[in-house]
Structure 1
Amino acid sequence: MIQMNESPELRRVRRVALGDFVHRSALKFPERIAVVDGDTRLSYRQFDARSSRFAHYLIGAVGSGRQVGMLCANSADMAVAYNGIHKSGNVWVPVNIRLDVAAIDYILRHAEVSAVVVDEAYHAAPGIADMLARLGVPLVVTMAGQAGSAIAGATTLAQAEHGQGAELPGIEIDGDAPALIMYTSGTIGHPKGAVHSHASVAASVMGNMAGFGITEQDVFSGVLPLFHCAQHCLVATVHAAGACVVLLRGFVPDEVRASILKEKYTAFTGLPMMYGALLADPAFRCDEHMRMCIYAMAPIPKPLIPLIAERMSANVMLATGQTEMYPGTMTFRPLDHPDLDANYWGVSLPHNETAVMDDDGRLLGEGQPGEIVHRGANAMLGYFKDPEATAAAQKFGWHHTGDLGMWGPGGQMMFLDRKKDMIKTGGENVASVKVEAVLLSHPAVAAAGVIGMPHPRWTEAVCAFVMKKPGAEVDEAALLAHCRAHLGDFEVPKLVHFVDQLPATSTGKVQKHRLRQQFAELAARAFGE
């Protein structure tokens, strides 16, 4: 057996570090535009220099190997900052800014962050300033005004970069060391932090580049939030290829259409409802320069596919992924399989493999339903400070997705259902038990069942079915106000319906499949389907 000692020199030669992608693209394409953000256009030379300066600041301020939280919306500053975190050898902890303050506070504390990067505008959101003050760690403020930040004691990103060297920091980074912790929306209790190494994200980047054919000539959309794994990994892939990403703060159809045409996107990634909204304008088309349209998060309505093919790009595909298996994992091309329905996930990308497994760890063949499992270099290291959940997720040597599926014709994966009652609405995951807990905290509520029901825009709408306590008086408006006080906006039900009784098992567990059957017509009328 050949044995090689891994010396410090060999580790440097074989280094895998996420911050190196931007640096290498800057060496090859220094004047090519890396990031467009409104009127801001950063070349790779500028992007590399700015992120390295911020990395040097972080090394001086907190050292390396620490967790750095981030509360930001999409922006050039955000991309500079998280690449600086990668280059500094610290661990990036992006947080969904649409969560309620208590959930954000939990994540930052659970992650043991040593600093937080925050948008100045978001710092002014209700409860955020007080929460961060109680956290008691240094703040770096992005998108601050020209005169500096109005936040006492905070450092602006410009101030952090000022006077620092533009060269790549010379610190050692182990490819297997944690690079980021991205928190999932757990179905029970608090969210879990999926820890990814530099190597696991790099594997996904390389697989995406090959699987989607991304080159330095591409111009990609950046409309999905960068605090989610899907958009982050696509942007990381774009920057590894030396291509360009156009970052937008959110999805406003007129603004997105104008941006697509102005910047001549070659690739767009969005939710099915985004495509529907873009194509609602009959005059909109971009097929002269768009080469690829990726949809994600949910099956797409079949009538929408030929519209995308005709007016945007004939290269239409679904991309799947999971925070724990850095995306993408599988792709499906509906136009290549017109006889298969929209619930197909297709085949694996080159950096991972997929199987269907029964509860005893046996792999199943075509037509046999079971749990969808993956393995590959893009798998997470584990859940932060949760060895039991990690062991369960990695049982039998595969990552367990919690999704049910089976192999269909031609080796295509068919998605059947989620093992747990996670609701996917507008690109966000909503834990039904979390919404139920908030409803049950209202003094007039005796019982509640929360499910996702089909919605023409949001894919699924959060729907609550509520039993009042005897003699109690409460209406839909009051319950919605109660929910808004305790939940993120995307978690608030879009339908509240009062019932005399909830279908339940003998042990009192709400039978959600019966709720879906019982109220399918009610939801269809309510949502105009």
Structure 2
Amino acid sequence: MSSLFSLLDKSACRFADRGAVFRGTEQLLTWSELRSRALRLAAGISGRCQGGDRIAVFSENRPEYVELMFAAWAAQAAIVPINYKLHDKEAAQIIDDAGATLVFVSPKLAAGLRRSSSLHRDRMVVIGEAAYEALLAHEPLVPPVVVPQTLAWLFYTSGTTGRSKGAMLTHRNLLAMTMAHLADVESLDEGSSQIHAAPMSHGSGVYVLPSVARGARQVVPASDGFDPVEFLELCDHHPACGAFLAPTMVQRLRLAVQQGGRAPPRGLRSIVYGGGPMYVEELRKSLAVFGPVFTQIYGQGEAPMTITALNRAAHGTDDDAVLGSVGWPRSGVDVRVVDPDGSVLPSGAVGEIVCRGDIVMAGYWRNPAATSQALHGGWLRTGDMGSFDEHGCLTLRDRSKDVVISGGSNIYPREVEEVLLAHPGVDKTCVVGRSDAEWGEVVVAFVVRAPGAEVSAAALDAHCLDHIARFKRPKEYHFVDELPTSSYGKVLKSELRRLLASG
């Protein structure tokens, strides 16, 4: 099996002079130029790193993301993309845990990261500035032969303890993901375009691989992120556009068309959605506006984008149960629903979803206890609850992991609770998710004030912004005299959710 760099190598050979990387509507690189830059950058990286080292990238979406990914793999290093929405302190914790040798940071985020930890300054390279250009000044590296089991991507996912865990994804894992995507989800070629509006540090980043494998152009919006009107204009400019979007982005896109009196974009080929619940009502509205362009994927950082899929044809059904499902197991992946003892459950029974295949991670980085808990005999325990119907279609029923999914981002209550409890005005707290039409869910905090404290919601909001990412902070604070608990002293989150539902 080849390495991930071979995907770029082959497309550069076949489509050398075609446009490869664009910023908005402007072409920046052809395929041969992208390959050359990646190999020169790899040579520069190799002068400062050894094979097996980790290369962190802390940046908003930028065209350089593509060359950095393939440069890391050509240098036989693993890439560690960090969500640019994280707080500087959270990014520093990931860099420390990964033991990153080099940290590529965007100019927008460099000052904040320097403030968070002086330890990283000698390892930091600001993208586009002099040190970055110096790395590009080397002679191109000769692409190496890489063992498929070599670590390629360290994907940090939030943990229930409040500290991130690094899912170890190998070249084999990501090549299997790429092949399954091309088999099950999209038919791509050199006439296609991939718009990176969702974060390239996770969701959109993995779609670089199948689109590069087929020579599809990589389009990074000039805004470096998701702006609905800009996205629609890009779809009118570039041919056969596809994108990975969170459900909340799909809704904003639909509203931009309907409220702006626009025609649906003529160049829209495909929208793959996932990362959170897409309600059937919203899905039908979006199908009415954009037509049959949708595919849903279900996966995790531990099995990226590749557990099940609801393909484009299935979106033509009138069956709400199918539209509300996550579809069927992907090519090369076994999926089961099991009871607490690991026994396979029959159709209709709700249990934990487990999966196995070449797409399942090798384990968690330097965390054997978490690895042992997640992997059993080659099966990944997803922590999600679901059931199969008689036709093998999987529906998610609940999440056994206590996670709030807001706008496609996972937020674990424990990490928010720990920050709130660090405020002297807070005695107790409990964080839950509340359903929201726009974001899927929003974070709500119930707070018991410390004796004599008069802490306000505004003060707690400012405290959270000093310690965690903005998107993780509670959208509501409810001050209560006491939290409801069971006879064992466990906080009854179900009771708090009932209180929210009743107003």
Please report the TM-score for the alignment, with normalisation by the length of structure 2.
Answer: 0.94
Q: Pick which of 325-334 and 194-203 moved more.
A: 325-334
* Corresponding position of 2:49: 62
Alignment of 1:426-505 (within 5 A): 426-505=407-486
1:60-81 deviations in Å (ceiling 9; x for gaps): 2223221111111111112111
* Corresponding position of 2:175: 202
Shift of 1:238: 0.4
Name the SS of the counterpart of 2:101 in structure 1: strand
The percent identity for this pair of structures is 29
Whole-angstrom distance in 1 between the partners of 2:423 and 2:52: 43
CA-atom RMSD in angstroms: 1.8
Q: 1:341–1:210: structure 2 CA closer, same or farther, 3 Å change rule?
A: closer
* Corresponding position of 1:269: 244
Residue in structure 2 matching 1:133, options 118, 121, 129: 118
Shift of 1:521: 4.1
* Corresponding position of 1:213: 186
Confirm or deny: 8 A CA contact 2:82 2:91 kept in the other structure: yes
Residue in structure 1 matching 2:489, options 495, 499, 508: 508
Confirm or deny: 8 A CA contact 1:188 1:434 kept in the other structure: yes
Confirm or deny: 8 A CA contact 2:269 2:293 kept in the other structure: yes
Shift of 1:337: 5.4
Residue in structure 2 matching 1:313, options 278, 291, 303: 291
Residue in structure 1 matching 2:164, options 183, 191, 196: 191
Whether 1:304 and 2:282 are equivalent positions in the alignment is yes
Shift of 1:339: 3.0
Q: Pick which of 60-69 and 489-498 moved more.
A: 60-69
Q: Pick which of 513-522 and 428-437 moved more.
A: 513-522
Shift of 1:40: 4.2
* Corresponding position of 1:18: 4
Confirm or deny: 8 A CA contact 2:297 2:308 kept in the other structure: yes
Alignment of 1:335-374 (within 5 A): 335-336=316-317, 338-340=319-321, 343-374=324-355
Structure 1 residue identity aligned to 2:382: T
* Corresponding position of 2:98: 111
Shift of 1:195: 0.6
Shift of 1:294: 1.8
Confirm or deny: 8 A CA contact 1:218 1:243 kept in the other structure: yes
Whether 1:143 and 2:124 are equivalent positions in the alignment is no
Shift of 1:201: 0.4
* Corresponding position of 1:231: 204
Name the SS of the counterpart of 1:104 in structure 2: helix
Whole-angstrom distance in 1 between the partners of 2:195 and 2:441: 24
Whether 1:257 and 2:242 are equivalent positions in the alignment is no
Q: 1:483–1:131: structure 2 CA closer, same or farther, 3 Å change rule?
A: closer
Structure 2 residue identity aligned to 1:257: L
Whole-angstrom distance in 2 between the partners of 1:404 and 1:95: 28
Shift of 1:95: 1.3
1:334-376 deviations in Å (ceiling 9; x for gaps): 4335231654111112131211111111111201111111101
Confirm or deny: 8 A CA contact 1:214 1:238 kept in the other structure: no
Q: 1:343–1:441: structure 2 CA closer, same or farther, 3 Å change rule?
A: farther
Whether 1:73 and 2:60 are equivalent positions in the alignment is yes
Confirm or deny: 8 A CA contact 2:66 2:208 kept in the other structure: no
Confirm or deny: 8 A CA contact 1:188 1:433 kept in the other structure: yes
Shift of 1:163: 3.6
Whole-angstrom distance in 1 between the partners of 2:433 and 2:11: 43
Q: 1:226–1:262: structure 2 CA closer, same or farther, 3 Å change rule?
A: same
Name the SS of the counterpart of 1:417 in structure 2: strand
Whether 1:328 and 2:306 are equivalent positions in the alignment is yes
Where do 5+ consecutive residues of structure 1 fail to align? 1-14, 149-154, 523-529
Confirm or deny: 8 A CA contact 1:204 1:351 kept in the other structure: no
Structure 1 residue identity aligned to 2:380: H
Name the SS of the counterpart of 1:354 in structure 2: strand
Confirm or deny: 8 A CA contact 2:192 2:239 kept in the other structure: no
Q: 1:103–1:376: structure 2 CA closer, same or farther, 3 Å change rule?
A: same
Whole-angstrom distance in 1 between the partners of 2:353 and 2:214: 30
Whole-angstrom distance in 1 between the partners of 2:206 and 2:152: 13
Q: Pick which of 312-321 and 361-370 moved more.
A: 312-321
Whole-angstrom distance in 2 between the partners of 1:215 and 1:494: 40
Shift of 1:263: 1.9
Confirm or deny: 8 A CA contact 2:232 2:265 kept in the other structure: no
Where do 5+ consecutive residues of structure 2 fail to align? none
Whether 1:178 and 2:180 are equivalent positions in the alignment is no
* Corresponding position of 2:82: 95
Confirm or deny: 8 A CA contact 1:343 1:416 kept in the other structure: no
Confirm or deny: 8 A CA contact 1:367 1:408 kept in the other structure: yes
Shift of 1:472: 2.0
Name the SS of the counterpart of 1:89 in structure 2: coil
* Corresponding position of 1:9: none
Structure 2 residue identity aligned to 1:418: R
Whole-angstrom distance in 2 between the partners of 1:170 and 1:233: 21
Confirm or deny: 8 A CA contact 2:237 2:267 kept in the other structure: no
Whole-angstrom distance in 1 between the partners of 2:139 and 2:85: 33
Shift of 1:329: 2.0
Name the SS of the counterpart of 2:477 in structure 1: strand
Structure 2 residue identity aligned to 1:219: S
Structure 1 residue runs of 4 or more that deviate by more than 4 Å after TM superposition: none
Name the SS of the counterpart of 1:193 in structure 2: strand
